[in-house]
Chains A and B, each alone.
Chain A
């Protein structure tokens, strides 16, 4: 066995920055502000804060705590509880694996837009502002008519995807110490760029009007189910939980390192960044409405439309330095995404494979990066956006939430929520009470089940997802079943690495 120390964060701040970087991603900027506007401004914020405290923070404590206790990634944690539960840890590994294959493609689009912004390739003034949709769907994606028409890859995006994966490999191939150091820089630069975008946004004409749309309270919506679905689902997605990686990041914490405080800092910093990003986004939305003379219903406010259509339109309408602000925005997006991408690749996939098969870190990282890059080429084809959407619905919704439900049940009822709480309290800066047990055993699985049934099964069984042809929408269920089957298959394979690790016998021992 190896004779060197276990893989560790070199400094507490490395862990905090890496965890915050993994949590903060594209959704903080392109999903949260829109949900706040859509679901009653301050009313949504109340539901979201409740979701953060009741679901988000305890869930993160659970993943950090279990990872630290067993000193393994997600499959190793559940194999440690009992060999028959190992598959519960493999299912979110497939979520991380498939998410990172398309997440990096979105990052490649961002790099394309950094270059495009330098020359304002979509145009300036009103002509440019109205051409951003054609530029994105026509020139950048060369979008086909449907998921059945794949067409050839867009080679410029393939090249930028390869560059992105090369950078991910360079960050992960030396493990947690480098990830921690890099995360500090990545997050500080991304926040600085977000601050620049915020300052530019709030000093534009019409900014106040946009912020009124963002924050105006409508407390009546709190009585409906939609707001609670939106708030709880946003909390589930935004913290990068249910994707296996946080177990691995927790396993890199020193044996006496804090859990409860780190989980709280990570969760609240992530959500504060979302709230702040909303000011940057909606102030520019207000400017776009004022400068174009359009209503808010005519602005793409969410997802790809916000990032790649509405924001470039706003950039086109700026009086000066259009290229600068366009490039800053997409560089910020890329930076927010890369910290999540290497988290998914390393914590979510590389660590579980290393522990299962006993491969070296470099070998595993090369295999994962190359395989993910090759799969990612699918999303660079002319029909790739449709498949990105379908795979995203499958893994970043169903697998993420269902694996969260299973993890909470197995940890809460089989391993014992009280044992986990005692383990967390042994070393944490503040203690968690017995309420934690009931959150892990009851509230977390029930809350996540509510989200997956209300927002998932009830819709997708009634009608094909997003109006796709039935054969394409059915791929959601195919991927779901195949990944679940593969999880059982991996459980059945012989473990060649050190899958189960807990307790004192391994103190000071680790893998290279």
Chain B
């Protein structure tokens, strides 16, 4: 793979992992899932 393709891969996986990590770290903090 070219260097630019590798950089693209790394950056966008970091974005997805970071975003989902941030969301899951807050999951269940406020919302209550039973009526």
Residues of A whose CB lies within 8 Å of any CB of B are 5-6, 8-9, 11-12, 41-42, 45, 49, 208, 211-212, 214-217, 253-259, 261-262, 264-265, 268-269, 271-272, 275, 427-430, 507-508
Contacts and interface: CB of A to CB of B under 8 A. Distances in A.
Q: Which 3 A-B pairs have the closest CB atoms?
A: A258-B31, A256-B32, A215-B5
Interface residues of B, number: 25
A427 B26 CA distance: 13
A261 B35 contact: no
Contact of B2 (A212, A257, A507): A212
B1 A208 contact: yes
A137 B26 CA distance: 49
Interface string B11-26: 1110110011001101
B35 A12 contact: no
Interface of B: 1-2, 4-5, 8-9, 11-13, 15-16, 19-20, 23-24, 26-35
Contacts of A208: 1
Contacts of A508: 35
Most buried by A among B5, B16, B31: B31
B9 to A, nearest CB: 6
B8 A41 contact: yes
Given A215-B9, A272-B20, A5 B35 contact: yes
Given A253-B33, A259-B31, A428-B30, 15 more contacts: A8-B35, A12-B27, A12-B33, A41-B8, A45-B12, A211-B9, A212-B5, A254-B33, A257-B32, A261-B26, A261-B31, A265-B27, A275-B16, A428-B31, A429-B30
A254 B35 CA distance: 6
Contact of A256 (B11, B24, B31): B31
A496 B9 CA distance: 54
A222 to B, nearest CB: 14
A427 B5 CA distance: 41
A78 B28 CA distance: 29
Interface of B is mostly: helix
Given A265-B24, A275-B12, A430-B26, A214 B31 contact: no
A257 B33 CA distance: 5
Contact of A255 (B11, B12, B26, B35): B35
A214 B12 contact: no
B33 A429 contact: no
A500 B7 CA distance: 51
Contacts of A507: 35
A37 to B, nearest CB: 12
A214 B5 contact: yes
A270 B35 CA distance: 28
Given A6-B35, A256-B32, A261 B4 contact: no
17 contacts: A8-B35, A11-B33, A41-B8, A45-B12, A211-B1, A212-B5, A216-B2, A216-B4, A259-B31, A261-B31, A262-B31, A271-B16, A272-B16, A272-B20, A429-B27, A429-B28, A429-B30
B14 to A, nearest CB: 11
B20 A427 contact: no
Contacts of A262: 31
Nearest to A208: B1
B23 A268 contact: yes
Given A256-B32, A428-B31, A217 B26 contact: no
Contacts of B15: 49
Contacts of A430: 26, 29-30
A212 B8 CA distance: 10
Contacts of B19: 264, 268
A261 B24 CA distance: 8
Given A215-B9, A257-B32, A42 B4 contact: yes
B24 to A, nearest CB: 7
Contact of A42 (B8, B24, B29): B8
Nearest to A262: B31
